[in-house]
């Protein structure tokens, strides 16, 4: 079976799930989600997560817990970007595009498929380079996002649905890389599975 590297545009993903009916379901195991999106076409061997440090200082604790949870399942957190004075994210997209370009051209990297989770057409040049290196391309749009340019580049781009998120929320029985129970997500208003059932935290939504 072929091997896949996945690249997640974290801020694009956040904006996709930042709505009342989906926000709690954003606490997903991205490794599981990426494998679910590829079905049995490829085995996901690496997942890279790119984002920026939250400019709301009161949310940093929650964000660090999220990163800790992702690292517990082997997701690689890229060096975070930052926000400028106008609160526009800086450097994250560039880092993601450069990582794709670097990986596909490296003889040391062993993979056949690139999975991009984003609806940002700025990544098309990096994906074009991946195609030149004979990589199969898969694109998944965060909920509520779309890109006609990416659809023209990759007609089989698929949307991530609420059902996909529900299947892949973290299991609360586990612990983060720093040994914090994953059920702490409930304190932050996220959802996680407890005894196989999705439970919602404070402010979470089941609509």
Question: In the predicted model, is pLDDT for residue 140 greater than 80?
Answer: yes
**Domain count across the chain:** 1
pLDDT tens across 156-200, in order?
Answer: 899 999 999 999 999 999 999 999 999 999 999 999 999 999 999
Burial class (CB in 10 A: 0-12, 13-18, 19+), 194: middle
Q: Is residue 91 part of a domain?
A: yes
Q: What is the mean pLDDT of the chain?
A: 90
Residue 129: domain span: 2-171
Q: Is residue 194 part of a domain?
A: no
User: Comparing 57 with 15, which gets the higher pLDDT?
Assistant: 15
Q: Is residue 205 part of a domain?
A: no
Encode burial over 111-142: b for 16+ CB neighbours within 10 A, e otherwise.
bebbbbbbbbeebbebbebbeeeebbbbbbbb
Q: Is residue 20 part of a domain?
A: yes
**Weakest-pLDDT range from 2-16, 46-60, 95-109:** 46-60
Reported as a pLDDT band with limits 50, 70 and 90, residue 58 is low
CA–CA separation, 32 vs 17, rounded Å? 17
Question: In the predicted model, is pLDDT for residue 10 greater than 70?
Answer: yes
Report pLDDT for 73.
96
Beta-carbon count within 10 A of 146 CB: 11
CATH number for the domain spanning 10: value is 3.40.50.1010
Q: Is residue 125 part of a domain?
A: yes
pLDDT tens across 98-138, in order?
Answer: 999 999 999 999 999 999 999 999 999 999 999 999 999 99
Report pLDDT for 185.
95
Report pLDDT for 100.
98
């Amino acid at each position: 079976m072929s091997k896949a590297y996945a690249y997640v545009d974290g801020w694009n993903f956040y904006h996709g799930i930042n709505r009342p009916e989906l926000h709690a379901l954003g606490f997903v195991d991205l490794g599981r989600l990426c494998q679910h999106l590829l079905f049995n076409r490829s085995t996901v061997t690496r997942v890279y997560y790119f984002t920026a440090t939250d400019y709301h200082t009161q949310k940093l604790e929650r964000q660090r817990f999220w990163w800790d949870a992702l690292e517990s399942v082997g997701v690689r957190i890229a060096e975070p970007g930052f926000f400028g004075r106008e609160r526009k994210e800086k450097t994250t997209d560039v880092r993601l595009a450069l990582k794709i370009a670097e990986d596909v051209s490296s003889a040391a990297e062993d993979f056949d498929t690139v999975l991009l989770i984003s609806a940002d057409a700025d990544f098309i040049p990096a994906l074009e380079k991946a195609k030149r290196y004979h990589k199969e391309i898969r694109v998944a749009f965060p909920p509520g996002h779309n890109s006609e340019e990416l659809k023209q580049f990759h007609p089989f781009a698929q949307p991530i649905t609420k059902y996909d998120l529900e299947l892949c929320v973290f299991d609360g029985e586990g612990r983060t890389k720093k040994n914090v129970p994953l059920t702490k997500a409930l304190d932050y208003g996220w959802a996680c599975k407890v005894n196989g059932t999705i439970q919602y935290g404070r402010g979470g939504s089941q609509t």
